[in-house]
Amino acid sequence: MPIGIIANSLSVIVGGIVGMIAGNRLSADFKEKLNMIFGICAMGMGISSIALMENMPAVIFAVIFGTSFGLLIHLGEKINKASKGMETIIGKFMKSGNHGLSEKQFEDTLVTVIVLFCASGTGIYGSIISGMNGDHSILIAKSILDFFTALIFACILGGVVAVIAIPQFLIFFLIFLLAGSIYPLTTPAMINDFKACGGFLLLATGFRMIKVKMFPTADMIPAMILVMPCSWIWVTYIMPFVS
């Protein structure tokens, strides 16, 4: 049973609902500064994951070419359109939390949250481990951070944050089901490189959260698919040739 995935999705739902209700009761200054703290936390998590990298050329290759592919197919724009669709649907049932944001700022922030919840290396890896041996500790630990992150972002964006739990659950549950097929094909080096790739996405997400630089984090998602094959090819074929 995907207990960890259910807990993670519930944390986003509850955090989103609480944040939507509490949004008007928190000052803009409080929300802005706390959001900066979450940005730093995301960057710290990203840096700690990058430190696990074992095959730097493979990870860098995956990040560059994965992002290039995402940009070529306009993945970020498609996710952005899907985000706007989610906002339109949820807006029919509850009031938007778009407090003082321009439409562009609202969309950029929403994409950042979707990537943070649905495409983190920690969440994907946690889903694989949960599906393989029933260890839900990684996802439960992630749930704690996601609850507070959803709460703060819902203060700004409204109830649409809670709805992000739906694609998050579907993505993680699919990985959970495929874990039995995926995990036996991996090596410790591939897993560490995968985590490192997710670390780059978290680092880029942190920069977006503190509004230093709006990295194309949604377009970077294909890198998460490329990194394990790239790591395997590097270790199996390229390293022996170079050595």
Considering its fold, how many domains does the chain have in total? Answer: 1
Check whether 174 has a pLDDT greater than 80: yes
Buried b (16+ CB within 10 A) or exposed e, 111-147: bbbbbbbbbbbbbbbbbbbbbeeeebebbbebbebbb
Q: What tens digit of pLDDT does each residue of 213-227 get? A: 888 888 998 998 899
Domain of 116?
A: 3-242
Residues paired with residue 158 on neighbouring β-strands, in sequence order: 96
| Mean pLDDT across 42-71 | 93
**Alpha-carbon gap, residue 76 to 94, rounded angstroms:** 26
Q: With cut-offs at 50, 70 and 90, classify the pLDDT of residue 190.
A: very high
Does residue 63 contact residue 220 with C-beta atoms inside 8 Å?
Answer: yes
Q: What tens digit of pLDDT does each residue of 57-75 get? A: 999 999 999 999 999 999 8
pLDDT at 63: 96
More confident residue, 153 or 236: 236
| Mean pLDDT across 146-152 | 87
